[in-house]
Structure 1
């Protein structure tokens, strides 16, 4: 549990350090993109760094704990944790990694959000993602959501990846 927090914390720290360097090099618009576990990292960076103006989160949900507990691909992780920890305790232990805890940070007016979800995802269950979208909206965010009729891994295949890519291109286009 601790190593997961340490590694995600390091990834967020590295991302924020890269943003500071980009800003020092004169970049004005900073966007982050993450897919699956990377979407938690990108979301945490966006939530903690006001230099980020756009965040695109592919295959995300609010709670990493819930994703690990319910996802088919993470069943072995759950089986290793279940004898020693319950889901409520895992949520508390991984609280710093739960994007829902930063919904208000992600709803700030100078941050645009783009989210791509998979309706048939067996890794990040759609109901967990939908709950996160509701939490974001309740906090005042207006995420641009694309929900595709595919699974977690099939998002990487045509036509889904093309639809997701076009949506991302429109989102990142400068106005």
Structure 2
């Protein structure tokens, strides 16, 4: 009975989130995603460029920027993004810092798609545990929101090139912020990503050697398959389906697929923590399981917690309490065991 109610509650949250979302047409915009290559005339040309990018180990490496221009004031950090877009607000990165009083350990949080606020509860809890928390605004969210937009359609959409550019921008911004943290004296830097933010956090952890731990909430490998099958992205699938197949979308967003970065996520010195919702209709469990299998085969060190709730109800008691304590134990541990999977039913 309780889980039936929980499923209905999750569905109502998903329905309310659809109200502002619109169906559009397919846009390639390859020059945004792959500026050194230029325009693509067809989906297959775009896919070929994307597959070359996925095989390029430097695709997510930010430029050596001499224009650091970090400004810290009253707990807010801002700095210029190294990706210039046609939305001026999006070109300045904002991050909220909750100090722990120690310059030893920090965690950078990447929020979920369409987040409208930061999570003060998590920030307060972790800072109380002695971990400084930095909540970064992802592209087209929060202070970086596109004027007049009702949701973050420029971050994830049927515009293939802008989506790749936005995720790459988020990774570059995260890596730039982590560089600042290291220069400020933080010895141990972790990342935490939630839903879409877990893809960004995973890519940051895969490519940024300064990251020692990565916690991924509600994650999977293939962003394309998540969009195609997920409850929260039906408008995007409706926009794409007349123009391409799932197989083509997988190729087009190959650089964003965490499965393609599993070997990097298995690098020595990186610990992984994954929290999944067994009743999730946004990120289906089969997609998450496939990523875990790929990570296990690559030799990654992963601690897994499954909770018997949905995508949105993970944020409600008792599930958020279990997730919070699991995260706390992961962040303060000194050495993780090899791949460990666990589950809970409540």
User: TM-score scaled by structure 1?
Assistant: 0.98
Matched residue, 2:187? 28
Distance 1:151 1:109 in 2: 33
State the secondary structure of the residue aligned to 2:232: coil
CA displacement, residues 48-97 of structure 1 (integer Å, 9 cap, x when unaligned): 10100000000000010010011112111101000111111111110111
Matched residue, 2:279? 120
Matched residue, 1:67? 226
Matched residue, 2:162? 3
Q: Which has the larger radius of gyration?
A: 2
Which structure 2 segments of 5+ residues have no match? 1-159, 335-346
Give structure 1 regions of 4+ aligned residues with deviation exceeding 6 angstroms.
none
Do the aligned partners of 2:195 and 2:218 also contact (CA within 8 Å) in 1? yes
State the secondary structure of the residue aligned to 1:123: coil
Matched residue, 2:70? none
Do the aligned partners of 2:189 and 2:210 also contact (CA within 8 Å) in 1? yes
Do the aligned partners of 2:221 and 2:291 also contact (CA within 8 Å) in 1? yes
2:205 matched to 1:46?
Answer: yes
> Structure 2 residue aligned with 1:163, among 303, 313, 322?
322
Distance 1:15 1:35 in 2: 14
How far off is 1:26 after superposition? 1.1
How far off is 1:142 after superposition? 2.3
2:297 matched to 1:135?
Answer: no
Distance 1:174 1:86 in 2: 44
User: TM-score scaled by structure 2?
Assistant: 0.50
Q: More helix per residue: 1 or 2?
A: 1
Which structure 1 segments of 5+ residues have no match? none
Distance 1:96 1:27 in 2: 30
CA displacement, residues 95-130 of structure 1 (integer Å, 9 cap, x when unaligned): 111000000000112100000000000000001101
How far off is 1:174 after superposition? 4.4
Matched residue, 1:92? 251
What is the RMSD of the two structures over their aligned residues, measured on CA atoms?
A: 0.7
Matched residue, 1:17? 176
Matched residue, 1:58? 217
Larger RCO: 1 or 2 (CA < 8 Å, sep 6+): 1
